[in-house]
Amino acid sequence: MTSANPAIAQSGGLTPQRILVFGLLALGLIAPFGVYPIFLMKGFCFALFAAAFNLLLGYVGLLSFGHAMFFGFSAYVTAHAAKEWGLTPEIAILLGVATATVLGAVTGWLAIRRSGIYFAMVTLAFSQMMYFVAVQAPFTHGEDGIQGVPRGHLLGLIDLNDTLTMYYFVFAVLVASLLFLHRIVNSPFGQVLKAIRDNEPRAISLGYEVDRYKLLAFTLSAALAGLAGSVKSLVFQLASLTDVHWHASGEVVLMTLLGGVGTVFGPSAGAFLVVAIQDYFSGIGSWVTIIQGAIFVVCVLLFRSGIVGVMAPMLKRRGIQA
Amino acid sequence: MIMKRLLLSAAALALSTGLAHAQFTDGKVKIGVLTDLSGTYSDLAGQGAIVAAQMAIEDFGGKINGQPIELISADHQNKADIASGIARKWYENEGVDAIAELVTTAAAVAVREVAREKGKIDLNSGAASTPLTNDKCSPTGFHWTYDTYAMAVGTGDAVVKSGGKTWFFLTADYAFGHNLQAQTERVVLANGGTVKGSVKHPFPNADFSSFLLQAQASGAQIIGLANAGADTINAIKQAKEFGIVAGGQKLAGLLVFITDVNSLGLDIAQGMVLTTGFYWDMDDGTRAFSKRFAERMKGKMPSMVQAGVYSQVTHYLKAAAAAKTDEGIKVADKMRELPIQDFFAKNGKIRADGRMVHDMYLAQVKAPSESKGPWDYYKVLRTIPGDEAFQPLSMSTCPLVKK
């Protein structure tokens, strides 16, 4: 379901695939006039986070339980850079992404030596370490977080304090990142990743240095998760412990599974579903987690491979790659 | 075909949910109660705060100059990011004019930033920290019921003067705990006491054993609990299990609510000295309100935070009616102009920094033998006049205060 269909990719004109992609793009462009833009931006940030996570779970088969450290820590770095050092948003975001990349390379280098549950536990352990760093380090301001982060002017020119401008910036970041991920997954590199996922010993026997591929995928995933966190800290003008907490690591697993592992649009759909539940049901207090759990149970019973994962075969019959 | 229908219905759904939220703020006054409905502070604020706001709106007549008053509420789960997200949505998208209650300093400060940016009103009752009326002060932000300075002046002072000279602090590790500890330390040192040390515990926390053992080992006469709500309750209960009180050390709850005393029971809580901005059994006015409140809350009496919400919402509505607008800055100016005169505050007044100054009370928890019935918990030892209870303006770091 995930392999590229060259016949469609190369044929010109309006294929159903293109109609779907352009339809979604157009929907994204007009959405802020109907739906609350901050809600959409939150959805985009988590969609990017889930998509980054999906690169690892869906295409390499590695279940990381520590992605919150990349998401949350880059948010802190970006917020600190923008607020305390007065840097422009693009530099602050780049710093955040760089932090996540380094963090990803180091923790990944240690974690990929194990697989399965051990890999998940190793990543969780690193993530908890970073969580306590965030609790104790003075620059994160503990339980209060970094508040009142200025959105600033993009490239010193475009004022991001305007909600609509910020919206289109976040939308552009998401679209570019999804394109980038699509490119990675459908490249020879992506094919090797899938080979490792499906049969690691065979990939090794074919002469691939599996560890290097895994590490690169882990680092790319960390960098994109960091990008999501950095952008989120500018959208909400806040970086807090919530984003480094293991709940965030768990939430991204939930989003990816709900939407559909190993699909391009699945994580985004899952992210929007979870964010919408949290947002629109926040008035009813502690019942939110119960509703979230019930929806998860229903999804597992009805759509075992996620919402998009179930739709994918139907779409594929019409020549659409989900 | 199915695809098209799916896309169309998705688009229609997106648009319809959006349109339902795009409303004008004109034509009504809307108040949001943003509080902890599920966590550590849900007993002392929570549902009771929503009920208090409802009562305030009903008592006001439900209308303001012919325009309806609406109430909305949400759970911020004591988290800054959730609080700021909801506040932003309420102010920008749902026509909310004022947000009330706001327990937990981290959440209160997050909402303060949004409210200042949007020029809308925020009314703090539950959050305790003094930065809300110092460097974080805002022309449209108010701090109503109490603060850490008043707690230190009341409880800290009383404990040192009764002989508790050496202190060890057990502090909730976030802005509020740090602030409460710092304020209390100041009072302890000023009265000739000494501080032997402190330990910070995560917020919220369930297991205090290692922190309590450190406090025990310090040998201090007084263990000051710079935390609140369920954290305080757990610490006190566990200290009893460790035999700390039996061993001669005393616990000083630096912020104790009547709901905490109710949870602990008089057996454990008796003799504790505390500072409060409100007690239900003071006079006819407080008793009348509390009785009506208890009828709606299954017999629970209001905490000072909940009573404060009634007072602040009522005052906001009075000011909005007098100013004939729901525009933040104009209503805020009117609020500062009008005195507060209700069962909660006698001759209360709002200063330039947003602090509502009113009398506080030093109380002691009754022994079980002294208590005549449910919720008969406090003996009021002394009334602390407002000007003594709250930080003088000369010490303020609020940029709005002209010196």
Kindly report the three-state secondary structure assignment for every residue of chain B: CHHHHHHHHHHHHHHHHHHHHCCCCCCCEEEEEEECCCCCCCCCCHHHHHHHHHHHHHHCCCEECCEEEEEEEEECCCCHHHHHHHHHHHHHHCCCCEEEECCCHHHHHHHHHHHHHHCCEEEECCCCCHHHHCCCCCCCEEECCCCHHHHHHHHHHHHHHCCCCEEEEEEECCHHHHHHHHHHHHHHHHCCCEEEEEEEECCCCCCCHHHHHHHHHHCCCEEEEECCHHHHHHHHHHHHHCCCCCCCCEEEECCCCHHHHHHHCHHHHCCCEEEECCCCCCCHHHHHHHHHHHHHCCCCCCCHHHHHHHHHHHHHHHHHHHHCCCCHHHHHHHHHHCCECCCCCCCEEECCCCEEECCEEEEEECCCCCCCCCCCCEEEEEEECHHHHCCCHHHCCCCCCCC
Residues in B closer than 8 angstroms to A34, CB to CB, are 14-15, 17-19
Asked whether residue B79 falls in the same domain as residue B39, the answer is yes
Predicted pLDDT at A322: 62
Asked whether residue B132 falls in the same domain as residue B206, the answer is no
* Residue A64 within any structural domain of the chain: yes
* Residue A217 within any structural domain of the chain: yes
* Residue B69 within any structural domain of the chain: yes
Residues in B closer than 8 angstroms to A39, CB to CB, are 89
Asked whether residue B186 falls in the same domain as residue B73, the answer is no
Residues in A closer than 8 angstroms to B7, CB to CB, are 20, 23, 27
Residues in A closer than 8 angstroms to B34, CB to CB, are none
Asked whether residue B103 falls in the same domain as residue B199, the answer is no
Q: ipTM of the predicted structure?
A: 0.71
Residues in B closer than 8 angstroms to A71, CB to CB, are none
Predicted pLDDT at B141: 93
Interface contact A35, partner B, CB < 8 A: yes
Asked whether residue B109 falls in the same domain as residue B169, the answer is no
* Residue B181 within any structural domain of the chain: yes
Residue of B nearest to A24 (CA): B7
* Residue A33 within any structural domain of the chain: no
Residues in A closer than 8 angstroms to B80, CB to CB, are 143-145, 147, 238, 240, 242
Asked whether residue B35 falls in the same domain as residue B129, the answer is yes
CA proximity to A75, closest of A237, A252, A194:
A237
CA proximity to A78, closest of A97, A93, A58, A90:
A93
Asked whether residue B41 falls in the same domain as residue B74, the answer is yes
* Residue B222 within any structural domain of the chain: yes
Strand partners, B68: B63
* Residue B4 within any structural domain of the chain: no
Check B14 against A237: CB less than 8 A apart: no
Token code pair at residue B316? 């906001």
| CB nearest to B15's CB, from A34, A236, A242 | A34
CA proximity to A255, closest of A246, A266, A244, A241:
A266
Q: How many domains does chain A have?
A: 1
CATH number at residue A107: 1.10.3470
Predicted pLDDT at A170: 94
| CB nearest to B3's CB, from A35, A282, A318 | A318
Asked whether residue B326 falls in the same domain as residue B345, the answer is yes
Asked whether residue B353 falls in the same domain as residue B365, the answer is no
Check B110 against A135: CB less than 8 A apart: no
User: Which residues in chain B show pLDDT less than 50?
Assistant: 1, 13-24
Interface contact A34, partner B, CB < 8 A: yes
| CB nearest to B106's CB, from A143, A284, A288 | A143
User: Which residues in chain A show pLDDT less than 70?
Assistant: 1-14, 282-286, 319-322
Asked whether residue B155 falls in the same domain as residue B257, the answer is yes
Domain that holds residue A93: 13-28+39-317
**Single-letter code of the amino acid located at B38:** S
| CB nearest to B203's CB, from A16, A143, A147 | A143
Buried b (16+ CB within 10 A) or exposed e, B234-263: bbbebbeeeebeeeebbbbbbbbbbbbbbb
Q: How many domains does chain B have?
A: 2
* Residue A7 within any structural domain of the chain: no
Beta-sheet strand order (sheet of B360-365) = B273-276, B360-365, B378-384
Element holding A239 (H helix, E strand): strand A238-239
CATH number at residue B225: 3.40.50.2300
* Residue B333 within any structural domain of the chain: yes
Domain that holds residue B307: 28-146+283-358
Asked whether residue B348 falls in the same domain as residue B370, the answer is no
Asked whether residue B138 falls in the same domain as residue B77, the answer is yes
| CB nearest to B109's CB, from A31, A42, A144 | A144
Across the A/B interface, how many CB contacts are shorter than 8 Å? 102
Q: Give backbone dihedrals phi and psi of B140, rounded to 5 degrees, phi first.
A: -115, 15
